[in-house]
A and B are shown apart, each in its own frame.
Chain A
Amino acid sequence: MARYIGIRLLAMIPLLFAIAVISFAIAVAMEARGSIAGSVCGEGATIECIAQVERQLGLDDPMPIRFVRWLASAATGDLGTSLTNQSVSVSSLIADRIGATLSIVAYSLVIGVAVGMAMGIVSAVRPGGVADRALSVASAALIAAPGFVLAMLLSWWLAVEWGWLSPAGYTRPSESITGWIRSITLPAIGLALPTVALVQRQLRSSMTNALQSRYVLAARARGIRRTSLIGEHALPNAMIPTVTAIGFRAAAALGLTFTVEVVFNINGMGTLLTNAIQTRNVTVLQGSMLVVGIVVLVVNLLVDISYGLLNPKVRLER
Chain B
Amino acid sequence: MTAPFLEVENLHVHFAGRSRLFRSAMPTVKAVNGISFAIEPHRTFGLVGESGSGKSTVARAVLQLTDVTAGTIRLDGADVTRVPREAELAFRKRVQAVLQDPYSSLNQVHQVRTIVGDGITRHFGIKPGPEREQRILALLDEVGLAGEFLDRYPYEMSGGQRQRVSIARALAVEPGLIIADEATSALDVSIQSQVINVLRRVQADTGVAFLFIGHDLDVVRHVSDDVGVMYLGYLVEQGGADGVYDLPAHPYTEMLIASVPVPDPAAQAERRALRQTFKKDTEPPSPSDLPVGCPFANRCPVAMDICTELMPEATAARHGGHVRCHLHTSGPVLAGESVVPYIRSASTAR
What residues make up the interface of A, taking CB atoms closer than 8 Å to B? 213-225, 228, 232-233, 236-237, 240, 310-313, 316, 318
Contacts and interface: CB of A to CB of B under 8 A. Distances in A.
Nearest to A210: B107
A240 B97 CA distance: 27
B105 A215 contact: yes
Contacts of A313: 108, 153, 155
B104 A318 contact: no
Contact of A223 (B89, B101, B106, B109): B89
A219 B106 CA distance: 9
A316 B104 contact: no
Contacts of A232: 118
A217 B170 CA distance: 13
Nearest to B118: A224
B104 A213 contact: yes
Contact of A224 (B101, B122, B166): B122
B14 interface: no
12 contacts: A215-B106, A216-B107, A218-B99, A221-B92, A222-B118, A223-B91, A223-B173, A224-B118, A225-B122, A237-B109, A310-B109, A311-B109
A222 B169 contact: yes
A127 B89 CA distance: 25
B221 to A, nearest CB: 26
A310 to B, nearest CB: 7
A313 B170 CA distance: 25
Contact of A222 (B92, B106, B155, B156): B92
Nearest to A311: B109
User: Which size class do B's interface residues fall under?
Assistant: 20 to 34
B272 interface: no
A214 B155 contact: no
Given A222-B96, A223-B89, A237-B107, A316 B156 contact: yes
Nearest to B153: A312
Contacts of B107: 215-216, 219, 233, 236-237
B92 A214 contact: no
Interface in B122-136: 122-123
B336 interface: no
B234 to A, nearest CB: 25
A237 B108 contact: yes
A318 B105 CA distance: 22
Contact of A214 (B105, B122, B156): B105
Contacts of A224: 118-119, 122
Interface string B205-226: 0000000000000000000000
A221 B65 contact: yes
Q: B88, B104, B109: which has the most chain A beta carbons within 10 Å?
A: B109
Nearest to A220: B65
B11 to A, nearest CB: 18
B93 interface: yes
A222 B109 contact: no
Contact of A221 (B96, B100, B153, B156): B96
Nearest to A233: B107
A236 B108 CA distance: 9
A218 B105 contact: yes
Contacts of B100: 214
A218 B169 contact: yes
Contacts of B92: 221-223
Contact of A312 (B101, B122, B155, B166): B155
